[in-house]
């Protein structure tokens, strides 16, 4: 019996969220960086964002001793060089952390590497120069351990300050940027549009950026990305690949359908239509009239957002299965029947001819209830000879039983089952439903009507 209901959410409103946008991929790869190296490649990456991948791709450079491959990395990373298969090159570790990885080829071509798929080639020579000089300053003046080729990490005890911090002109400090006004900025800045690395509900228009950038500010044509300490490198080329999405306010579900979005704390793609198929089991005598509670089912079934939701409920009669036990009445009845028979046999041995006849008559009674009744009447009304017999008779007494406990229907009508103290009346089909109900009524019994599995 199929019952259907459709819910339409298309006009529902989502208060705040983000729609992810697909931008063109970054055009520069790690291989591009490596292939343009002629004398040296210096990589500063204490977060380990790209170091290992770059090193594994740069094997040709690392193994060519005319080209210097140098890494300024974290203390943990320098200990693991060998286990990561890096046995050549010059490495130092520092506690001065990078915010994004910086690679500088031949001391003049700098790259800001957000991740392996988001690389910005620094176009300004001045900026490249400043970045190189700063990283080189850290390499010689702020490093604590050194590995040269395959050596074990050696502690650098000597303080060398002669490779000095460059005077930054292209690179800007945070305090300088805080004094200027920009349209976009991460939450550590006060900008009209906030740049978020992870979606969350904020009370302003927001854009999602690559999660490896922890601080950034700018306008459409120029951004400043935090590279190290409180220093920001300007980028004025197309960095749309760093933008992952933008926020919306009070948007109809209809506009979000089939788009990757985030709202209510979750990333999701709303499907336009979703069908839920449900089977509900109802008693045999009422399932055809049953009306499902679709609202309750929606709450129960629909965990995500969909444009439209159709719930198909297939209402079926309850069927007996292995979780139901045959009613104990059957066993009890069999036992009682045997007991009455035995008691009658005993009486027969004690009785005179008349009584034997009566007992034989009782034995022929088919209805067990009547048989017990007659047995009890016989026991109550008949006396036997002497004391001995009385004593013998004393082992025979009236059978006290609640007749409902052994009342079962004819097998052709159906069978009684029990499950969790509830009685079920299992019928082979619906044809004798009225008859079964009548039987229950007549026998003063209560049971849920179900379908037998045969």
Partner 1 sequence: MNISYRVNGMLNNFESKVDLKLNRHRNDFKSLLLEIESGNNLEQIFGSIALANSLRKILKNKGVIDASNKLTKSGKDFIVSPLLEEVESGTYSIDYVSMPIGKETVNFFSAIRRTISNEKRNFSTWNISNIISDNQMFTDRKDECVFYKELTLPKQLNSVFQGQEKTVEINIDLLEKKYNVEKGSWLLTGEELYHKVLTYADEALKNNPYGRFDLFNNLLYIETLKDFSDKELVSGHLEEYSTEGIVINSYPLCIDKVAMAKKYAYLYMYYRLNEDATYSFKEMDEILQNEVLTKNIFTDSVKSSKTMLEFQYDYNGFKDNLDTEKFNNLAYKLRVLEEFLDLKVVDNEFSKAKNYKEIVTKFSTSLSGSTVNELYMIMGYPFAKNSKTKTTEMIQEFTKVYQNITIVKKGNEHIENQNIEKEVRSLGVKVRENKNIKKAFHDRYLVFELKNKTYEIYLITCEIGQFFNPSTNQPLGSIIKINPSEISKDKVNLIHLVKE
- The contact set with partner 1 (CB under 8 A) reads 39-40, 42, 65-66, 68, 70, 88, 90, 107, 136, 139-140, 148-149, 154, 157-164
All residues at 6 or more sequence positions from 371 whose CB lies less than 8 Å from its CB, including other chains: 340, 362, 363, 365
Contacts of 134 (CB under 8 A, 6+ apart): 165, 166, 168, 171, 228, 231
Q: Are strands 422-427 and 448-451 parallel, antiparallel or unpaired?
A: parallel
Residue 73 near residue 45, CB atoms below 8 Å = yes
Q: Please, what is the Cα angle at 106 between 105 and 108, to 5 degrees? A: 85
Q: Select 155 or 420, whichever has its Cβ closest to partner 1.
A: 155
Query: Mind giving me the DSSP string for 190-218?
Result: --SEEEESS----SS-EEEE-TT---EEE
Query: In the complex with partner 1, which residue's Cβ is closer, 54 or 209?
Result: 54
Q: What's the closest the beta carbon of residue 174 comes to partner 1, in angstroms?
A: 19
- SS3 of residue 117 by DSSP: coil
Closer to partner 1 by Cβ: residue 88 or 443: 88
Question: Measured from the CB of residue 126, what is the shortest distance to partner 1 in angstroms?
Answer: 14
Residue 152 CB, nearest approach to partner 1 (Å) = 12
Instruction: Please check whether residue 190 is in contact with residue 246, taking contact to mean a CB–CB distance below 8 angstroms.
Output: no
CB of 138 vs partner 1, minimal distance in Å: 11
Cα 62 from chain centre: 44
Least distance in angstroms from the C-beta of 70 to partner 1: 7
We find the least distance from the C-beta atom of residue 169 to partner 1, in angstroms, to be 12
Between 158 and 442, CB nearer to partner 1 = 158
Minimum Å gap between C-beta 203 and partner 1 is 41
Residue count of the chain? 454
* CA pair distance 390, 385, nearest whole angstrom: 7
Q: Are 51 and 78 in contact (CB under 8 A)?
A: no
Distance CA 71, CA 139 (A): 9
Q: Which secondary-structure segment (H or E) carries 174? A: helix 174-178
Among candidate residues 105, 110, 143, the one with its CA nearest the CA of residue 124: 110
96: DSSP letter: S
Burial of 362 (0-12, 13-18, 19+ CB in 10 A): buried
- List the structure tokens of 340: 């009455």
Taking the least distance from each CB to partner 1, the nearer of 96 and 197 is 96
Tell me how far apart the alpha carbons of residues 298 and 263 are, in angstroms, rounded to a whole number: 20
Select 67 or 327, whichever has its Cβ closest to partner 1: 67
For residue 143, the number of C-alpha atoms closer than 13 Å in the C-beta half-sphere is 27
Is the CB of 141 or the CB of 443 nearer to partner 1? 141
Q: Looking at beta carbons only, is 126 or 160 nearer to partner 1?
A: 160
Tell me how far, at minimum, the Cβ of 229 lies from partner 1, in Å: 14
Cβ partners under 8 Å of residue 174, min gap 6: 188, 215, 226, 230, 231, 232
Task: Name the 3-class secondary structure at 384.
Answer: coil
Which residue's structure tokens are 């299965």?
Answer: 321
Q: How far is CA 274 from CA 251, 269, 308, 388, 431, in A?
A: 20, 13, 6, 85, 38
Shortest approach of partner 1 to residue 204 CB, angstroms? 39
Q: Looking at beta carbons only, is 160 or 335 nearer to partner 1?
A: 160
User: CB-wise, 156 or 369, nearer to partner 1?
Assistant: 156
CB of 173 to partner 1, least distance (A): 16
Cβ of residue 48: shortest distance to partner 1, in angstroms?
21
């Amino acid at each position: 019996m199929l019952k259907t209901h459709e819910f339409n959410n298309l006009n529902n409103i989502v208060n705040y969220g983000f729609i992810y946008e697909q931008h063109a991929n970054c055009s520069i790869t790690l291989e591009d960086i490596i292939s343009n190296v002629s004398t040296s490649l210096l990589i500063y990456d204490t977060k380990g964002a790209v170091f290992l991948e770059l090193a594994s791709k740069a094997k040709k450079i690392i193994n060519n001793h005319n080209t210097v491959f140098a890494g300024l990395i974290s203390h943990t990373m320098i200990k693991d060089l060998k286990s990561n298969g890096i046995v050549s090159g010059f490495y130092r570790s520092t506690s001065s952390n990078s915010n994004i990885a910086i690679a500088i080829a031949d001391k003049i071509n700098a790259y800001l590497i957000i991740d392996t798929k988001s690389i910005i080639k620094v176009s300004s020579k001045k900026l490249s120069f400043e970045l190189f000089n700063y990283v080189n300053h850290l390499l010689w003046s702020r490093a604590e351990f050194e590995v040269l080729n395959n050596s074990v990490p050696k502690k650098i005890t000597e303080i060398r300050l002669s490779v000095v911090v460059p005077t930054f002109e292209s690179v800007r400090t945070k305090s300088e940027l805080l004094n200027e006004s920009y349209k976009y900025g991460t939450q550590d800045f006060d900008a009209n549009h906030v740049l978020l690395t992870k979606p969350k509900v904020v009370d302003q228009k927001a854009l999602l950026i690559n999660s490896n950038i922890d601080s950034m500010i700018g306008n459409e044509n120029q951004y400043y990305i935090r590279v190290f300490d409180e220093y920001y490198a300007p980028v004025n080329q197309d960095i749309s690949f760093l933008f992952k999405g933008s926020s919306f306010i009070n948007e109809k579900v209809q506009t979000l359908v089939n788009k990757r979005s985030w709202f209510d704390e979750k990333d999701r793609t709303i499907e336009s239509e979703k069908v839920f198929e449900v089977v509900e089991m109802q008693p045999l005598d009422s399932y055809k009239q049953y009306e499902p509670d679709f609202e309750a089912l929606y709450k129960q079934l629909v965990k995500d957002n969909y444009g439209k939701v159709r719930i198909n409920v297939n209402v079926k009669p309850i069927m007996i299965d292995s979780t139901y036990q045959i009613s104990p009445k059957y066993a009890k009845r069999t036992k009682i029947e045997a007991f009455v028979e035995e008691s009658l046999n005993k009486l027969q041995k004690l009785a005179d001819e008349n009584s034997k006849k009566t007992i034989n008559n009782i034995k022929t009674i088919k209805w067990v209830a009547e048989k017990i009744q007659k047995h009890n009447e016989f026991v109550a009304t008949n006396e036997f000879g002497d004391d001995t017999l009385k004593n013998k008779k004393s082992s025979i007494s009236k059978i006290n039983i609640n007749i409902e406990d052994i009342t079962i229907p004819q097998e052709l009508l159906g069978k009684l089952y029990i499950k969790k103290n509830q009685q079920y009346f299992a019928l082979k089909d619906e044809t004798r439903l009225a008859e079964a109900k009548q039987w229950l009524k007549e026998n003063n019994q209560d049971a849920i009507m179900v379908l037998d599995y045969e």
